[in-house]
Amino acid sequence: MTSQDLHLLSAAYALDAVDDDERTKFAAHLETCPDCQEEVAGFRRTLTRLSGASAEVPRPDLRDNVLTTISQTRQATPWVPADIAPIGRRHANRSWQGWAAAAAAVVAVAAGGFGWQQHSQSQHIRDDYSRAQAQTAAMQRILAEPDVRAEHARNSSGSEMTVYRSARAAKAVVVPATMPALAANQVYQLWVVAKGTPLPRQVMTGRPEIVDGVHPGDAIAVTVEPAGGSLVPSGPPVLQANA
Amino acid sequence: MTLDPIPLRRPTPLPKPIPLRRPLHVRTPRLRGADGGLDELITQVSRGDEEAFARIYDELSSTLFGIAKRVIRDPSRAEEVMQEVMVEIWQQATRFDSSKGSVRTWACMIAHRRAVDAVRREETSRRSERREGSRNAQLDFDEVAETVVDQFEYTQVRKCLDTLTQLQSEAVGLAYYRGLTYPEVAALLDVNLSTIKTRMRDGLIRLRDCLGTGITT
C-alpha cells in the first residue's frame, strides 16, 4: 500500500470501516503524518456532531447500574510522566510491561496454538484491549511464519527489546520490554538498517510494533528523536538487534 | 448474469412530525463553557471523583446510547454496550489526552468502536440483516427523527446530509450507522474499493465543511 493509498483511508479509519490490519497500518502512518492527524481529528469532530443529532435517552435505571459498577472498578494507571520517572534503571512503566505481556501471549499462540483467550483476560491487556485486538491478527501471522526467529537486545541503561523477524513475511515484531521514559518532546523511533543505511520506520508507541520491509541481513535499531520522528537518525542507536 | 436495475434516487420523505410523547424540554441545558464542563469533569474523574463521573454520565449517556443503538439496532444489546463504554470512560479517564480532541469526541469514538466491534463479533446471519433495508444514510438518519433529544441539532445535521451526493451519503451512512467495513460497503453498492474510499472521504469533507467542524476551537 502506497502512502497515497494510506492517506485515502483517513475517512474509512475515522468511520471504523477498516479491518484490524488496516487500522494498525493507518494508526502507524498517523504517528508520522501531521496532515492525516488533522484530517482524522476533523472527521471525528464531524461524526461527533452526527452522533449528537441522533442522541436518544437510555432507560433511567441504567444510570444506577453504571454508577454502582464504576464504584467497584479500578481506574487505569496513568501514563508515568517523563520528569518523575527514574532514568537509567529498569523502569516500571506499566504500559510497556503490559504490552510485553500482550506480545508474550501472542507468542504463546504461535508456539502452542492456545492460550490467547486466557492471557487476554489479564488486567494489563484489558486496559487497552482495542489496540491489542487491532495488532493481534497481524502479529499472529508474522509470529506464525515457519522461519520466525527471536533476537534480544539490551543496553547498559536498562533498555530491552525483543525482535521476532520473518524473512518470508519481510516483517518483524518488535516487543519493547523496558525502556526508560523520555522527556515530553522526545520519542523512540525504529529503523531498519539495510547495508549500513538507516531507513526510517515508525515512532514507537510503547506497544509491540510491526516493522515492515525487513530483509535478511538488516538490523533493527532504535534511536531517540524529537517528537514526530526523523528521516535520518539524530544520534547513534540506543538499541540494535542484528540479524 | 442479470444485474438488478440501479434504483433511482429515492424521494426524500417528508420530515416526520415531532412526537408528542417526548417533550422537547427533556434535554438538560448544557452549562456553557467548554462543552458542559466536560474537560474539567474528566480531570476530576481521573482522580477518582464519582460525583463528577455521574455528571459526565448525564451529559453523554444519550449521545452514546444513540450511537450504540444506530449501529447495533437491538436496544438491549445497545444498552449493554453503552454501559460498557461508560465504565471504559471511568477506567481510561486517567489517560485522556486533551491535546488529541475533546472529551465528547473521545467518548463518541470509543462508543462507535465498541458498537462496531459488537456487531462484527456477531454471526454472519446478523451481518446480512444489517445489510437489509435501506441503503441510504438519509433514510437511516430519518429513522431517528422520532426519538432524538435535540431537534435543533438534528435539523442542522439533516441539512448538511442533504448536501451529499447519493453515493457519498450511502458510503458514509453504511459505515457509520451500520458498522460495515469499506469493502463490505463497496460490495453492497457494487462500486470498486478505491471509489468507496474516495467517496467516504469527500463525503466527510463536505459534511465537515458544512458543519464547520474542520477548525479546532
Span A169-226, pLDDT tens digits: 889 988 887 788 888 788 899 999 888 888 889 888 877 888 988 988 889 999 888 8
Whole-angstrom distance, CA of residue A150 vs CA of residue A108: 13
Residue B178 to chain A, least CA–CA distance (Å): 10
CB of B96 within 8 Å of any CB in chain A?
no
CB of B44 within 8 Å of any CB in chain A?
no
Helix (H, G, I), strand (E, B) or coil at A209: strand
Selecting from A9, A50, A77 the residue whose C-beta is nearest the C-beta of B197 gives A9
Q: Is B157 close to A49, i.e. CB distance below 8 A?
A: yes
Residues B209-214 have a mean pLDDT of: 88
Q: Is B54 close to A75, i.e. CB distance below 8 A?
A: no
> What is the pLDDT at residue B156?
84
Whole-angstrom distance, CA of residue A204 vs CA of residue A212: 13
Residues B84-110 have a mean pLDDT of: 93
Query: What is the β-pairing status of strands A171-178 and A209-212?
Result: antiparallel
CB A231 within 8 A of CB A217: no
Q: Is A71 close to B50, i.e. CB distance below 8 A?
A: yes
Q: Is B204 close to A9, i.e. CB distance below 8 A?
A: no
Which of B53, B119, B182 should one mutate to test binding to chain A, selecting the residue with the greatest count of A CBs within 10 A?
A: B182
Q: Which residues are B179's β-sheet partners?
A: none
> What is the pLDDT at residue B58?
95
Low pLDDT (below 70) residues in chain A: 1-4, 79-135, 243
pLDDT of B126 > 80? The answer is no
Which of A56, A77, A120, A125 should one mutate to test binding to chain B, selecting the residue with the greatest count of B CBs within 10 A?
A: A56
Whole-angstrom distance, CA of residue A194 vs CA of residue A201: 12
Give the predicted TM-score (pTM) of the model. Answer: 0.58
Residues B147-175 have a mean pLDDT of: 85
Residue A142 to chain B, least CA–CA distance (Å): 23
Residues B100-105 have a mean pLDDT of: 92
Q: Is B108 close to A67, i.e. CB distance below 8 A?
A: no
One-letter identity of residue B136: N
pLDDT of B83 > 50? The answer is yes
One-letter identity of residue B133: G
Half-sphere exposure of B129 (CA within 13 A, CB side): 11
Kindly identify which residue of chain B lies nearest to residue A52, measuring between CA atoms: B63
Whole-angstrom distance, CA of residue A153 vs CA of residue A163: 8
Q: Is A47 close to B176, i.e. CB distance below 8 A?
A: yes
Helix (H, G, I), strand (E, B) or coil at B82: helix
Q: Which residues are A191's β-sheet partners?
A: A200, A221
**Which CB contacts under 8 angstroms, 24+ apart, belong to A193-200?**
A193/A218, A193/A219, A193/A220, A193/A221, A193/A240, A194/A218, A198/A223, A198/A232, A198/A233, A200/A229, A200/A230, A200/A231, A200/A232
A19: which chain B residues are within 8 Å (Cβ-Cβ)? 181
User: A–B: how many Cβ contacts below 8 A?
Assistant: 188
Length of chain A measured in residues: 243
> What is the pLDDT at residue A234?
83
Whole-angstrom distance, CA of residue B22 vs CA of residue B59: 18
How would you class A97 by CB atoms within 10 Å of its CB: exposed for 0-12, middle for 13-18, buried for 19 or more? middle
> What is the pLDDT at residue A133?
60
Half-sphere exposure of B183 (CA within 13 A, CB side): 3
**How many other C-beta atoms lie within 10 A of the C-beta of residue A215?**
12
**pLDDT over 90 for what percent of chain B?**
53
Residues B152-166 have a mean pLDDT of: 87
